[in-house]
Structure 1
Amino acid sequence: MREYLLTILVAALVTYLLTPAVRRFAVWFGAQAAPRDRDVHVIPTPRLGGLAMFGGMVGALIVASGLPKMRQVLAEGDVSLGRALLLAGGLIVLLGIADDRWGVDPLTKFAGQVAAAGIFIMQGIQLYVLPLPSGEPLSLPPAYGVPLTVLVVVATINAVNFIDGLDGLAAGVVGIASLALFSYAYLLSHAKGITTLSGPTLTAAVLVGICAGFLPHNFNPARIFMGDTGSMLIGLLLSGSTIMLTGQFDPDIIGTYRLFPLYVPLLMVPLVAAVPFVDMMLAVWRRTNDGRSPFAPDKRHLHHRLLELGHSHRRAVLIMYFWVGLLAGGLMGMATTSNLVLVGTATLTVAVGGVVLMIALPRLAGRRIASEPVPPETVTGSAVAAEVSVPGVSAAQPSAAAQSPATAQPPATDLPDGGTGRHRQHI
């Protein structure tokens, strides 16, 4: 565990320290997000934060290669983990830089994501088996395993990309999901001696670190965005850990342990990534139903709807954290205890309470604001602004009739030369 924790710490520290330099580079490079109609930020904000996250990943892998246990993880088995992460991650980062700076059409972006999935497959990260509730694992020949692997990689990348709409949202959600994956993979690989799960454990550890290191710079108000460079990178790492965790070992081993039911590997990834996946599926259905491209942007994602309910920017992000953490924690509880009814009841109770608070908090905040006394100067200013306006007089100023006799002036009248009855203001 100490080596995993050191890897997480290095990934977080390198990412945190690199982010300010990447921010200055993004400003110089011209990779800034100008406010658009569907965005919630109002000032241009640098992107390319994923470049710092990639640096954190590289730093963590370098340190891991010098640790005794981690060196074995990177070298053992049929999976070239370090090479897979560096090559596929490097390709995704280059694609993201081009998109953050100049913009890349969806087809080119999709082709780059498929190519990254191909690198994973060539380096051994592929779905080989699928555990089934019947207890018999389903072996996947390349004709099925390869396209399913590509589907998982591309779907996870785009799910994370879709949810990257609020400050700190994608980094926090993926950080929570990867922490759940890391915990589960570590329990299996260390406590139960399944050494083939060390690869997904290390990948999840690196992902936890780079998300934690980037989040202080990205939480509201964000000083830098991760951009497509970052969202596609962390989606790629999440998919890699997912594939190695669910499809590269014999699920019968898990079935022999009472505390680790057979269905946990099948449910872990969909549940911890439920929020981005549900948002992605809803967006695709919504856009195709409107006769638009599934890649056409809009402002109707789940986080946008939370803002419409009256939640603040930070509260909307924390609500999304809550739901991802609840789903991941509930599944981990079911995986590590035999009392499934107790865990399910506690999770359902917390979920109901969360829904109530999510609906009630904006209303309570609105009532508190409405009950606060209005300062006298505000009332006076409002009364003045509410007076009947006179042509040629600003509505925010008193009319000529309301002025004192000494200061009252006759209404302005247009002259042939374009002036007014008073002295000319503009030439």
Structure 2
Amino acid sequence: MIPPEGYAVAGLPVREFALVALVTAALTFLLTGLVRLFAIRIGAVAYPRTRDVHVVPMPRLGGLAMYLGICGGMMVAHQLPVLRRAFDFALDPIAVLIGGGLIVAIGVLDDRFELDSLTKLAGQTTSAGILVLFGIQWMVLWVPWGGDGGYFGTVLILDQNQGGLLAILLVVTMVNAMNFVDGLDGLASGIGFIAAVATCAFSLHLLDQSGGSVNNYPPILISATLAGACLGFLPHNFQPARIFMGDSGSMLIGLMLATASTTMSGKTTPTEGATNSIALFSPLLVVAAVLFIPLLDLLMAVIRRTRRGESPFSADKMHLHHRLLEIGHSQRRAVLLIYLWAAVIAFGAVSVSLFDAFIVAWGMGIGVLVAVIVSAIPRLRSR
């Protein structure tokens, strides 16, 4: 259902969104212990392999607790008069629950029975297709070339087929990227939390710029519940972990990040007559920054494996976190370093749209310099 033109809500419901995130975090934290016992009971346990970092059997299915926590958070949002408008005027939250439920079910089966890559890919594509059927797709895409009539760059208007295919591609890519990056205790849940908070912050900025239009509620709600789920699961998953999120969790994070990014940027049109290229490009810039670390790891893995003549889905010990461990970092320090890189890139991109670009560039430069120095400390000591 599309709200009437110019329909808006006075003020920003920041407290309501924060409440939903905290409820999601609390539910996820409480449910993770029960899910851990359930995983042990049904045999959903990760036994150490040559490419793994953990050395003892570890229960999985953490994604099930995260999904149940997200469902609880969505229910609370539906009962709040202000946030109920996110359900009244859009099907995005319902689509996330249905598509997320399917991908969690596939992940649960994989955590227990080790599905083959083609079966998982089919399930991921089906989940993405459900999102598209509910209207989650790219409608406009800004590219930084061409342009006339006061615009810098060109706004491409996509039809349903183009927008749907782009949305499916982003979902499947992000799902696999988060799956690839999930290799150390607390890594995927921490990156998911950072990315979700950055997406939520930028979506709140868009909400403020639009005068409180309810069209901007869905990405905030999706990213707020995801941030809460990751935060609630992290105490159980940070090194030394007591449970893994498994594919059920990593794929859910990827799907929700891709959905929030699509609902945030896929329907955003640059302000008419705008000439500031940073302001025009900021929605896509935030999307690229939020997804940068997992997508970089995925891209490097695909290139590395195809050059060796192997399947892109074959396993190895050459991911970003493996390289940090090889340099000499401990598991905790490697995870915290990747957190630092993800935070600098994601929040730096968000800050570009909020503050002076020159100041943000200096801040990001300092952050990158600190991250580089800390990352190289073990190698510098050895020399």
- Do the structures match in fold with TM over 0.5? yes
Distance 2:230 2:379 in 1: 29
Partner of 2:239: 220
Distance 1:130 1:223 in 2: 43
Any stretches of 5+ residues in structure 1 without a counterpart? 368-427
What are the Cα deviations for residues 317-353 of structure 1, in whole angstroms up to 9, with x where unaligned? 0000000000012112211123x22221221122122
> TM-score, structure 2 length as denominator?
0.91
Contact 1:47 1:227 in 2 (8 A): yes
Shift of 1:64: 0.6
Three-state SS of the structure 2 residue aligned to 1:131 is strand
Contact 1:175 1:212 in 2 (8 A): yes
Deviates more, 1:300-309 or 1:260-269: 260-269
Partner of 1:416: none
Equivalent in 103, 113, 124 of residue 124 of structure 2:
113
Distance 1:349 1:14 in 2: 37
2:41 paired with 1:28: yes
Question: Bigger relative contact order, structure 1 or 2, given CA contacts below 8 A and separation 6+?
Answer: 2
Number of residues paired by the alignment? 362
Contact 2:25 2:230 in 1 (8 A): yes
List structure 1 runs of 4+ shifted beyond 6 angstroms. Answer: 257-260
Equivalent in 36, 57, 64 of residue 44 of structure 1:
57
What are the Cα deviations for residues 186-215 of structure 1, in whole angstroms up to 9, with x where unaligned? 111135424311111111101110000000
> TM-score, structure 1 length as denominator?
0.82
1:293-304 alignment to 2 at 5 Å? Answer: 293-304=311-322
Partner of 1:358: 375
Three-state SS of the structure 2 residue aligned to 1:68 is coil
What are the Cα deviations for residues 112-146 of structure 1, in whole angstroms up to 9, with x where unaligned? 11111111011111111112334342110123112
What are the Cα deviations for residues 131-190 of structure 1, in whole angstroms up to 9, with x where unaligned? 233434211012311211110010011111110000000000111011000000011113
Contact 1:259 1:336 in 2 (8 A): no
Partner of 1:171: 189
Contact 1:260 1:336 in 2 (8 A): no
Partner of 1:281: 299
Equivalent in 175, 197, 200 of residue 157 of structure 1:
175
Distance 1:30 1:229 in 2: 15
Partner of 2:137: 126
Contact 1:137 1:252 in 2 (8 A): no
Shift of 1:81: 2.1
Partner of 1:204: 223
2:326 paired with 1:326: no
Shift of 1:256: 5.1
* Identical positions, percent: 46
| Residue identity opposite 1:358 in structure 2 | S
Shift of 1:357: 1.9
Distance 1:353 1:189 in 2: 33
Contact 2:93 2:222 in 1 (8 A): no
Partner of 1:349: 366
| Residue identity opposite 1:99 in structure 2 | D
| Residue identity opposite 1:17 in structure 2 | L
| Residue identity opposite 2:34 in structure 1 | A
Shift of 1:361: 4.3
State which structure, 1 or 2, has the greater radius of gyration over its C-alpha atoms: 1
Any stretches of 5+ residues in structure 2 without a counterpart? 1-13
Distance 1:72 1:260, change over 3 A: farther
Contact 2:40 2:59 in 1 (8 A): yes
2:80 paired with 1:67: yes
Distance 1:82 1:325 in 2: 26
Distance 1:357 1:85 in 2: 38
Contact 1:23 1:49 in 2 (8 A): yes
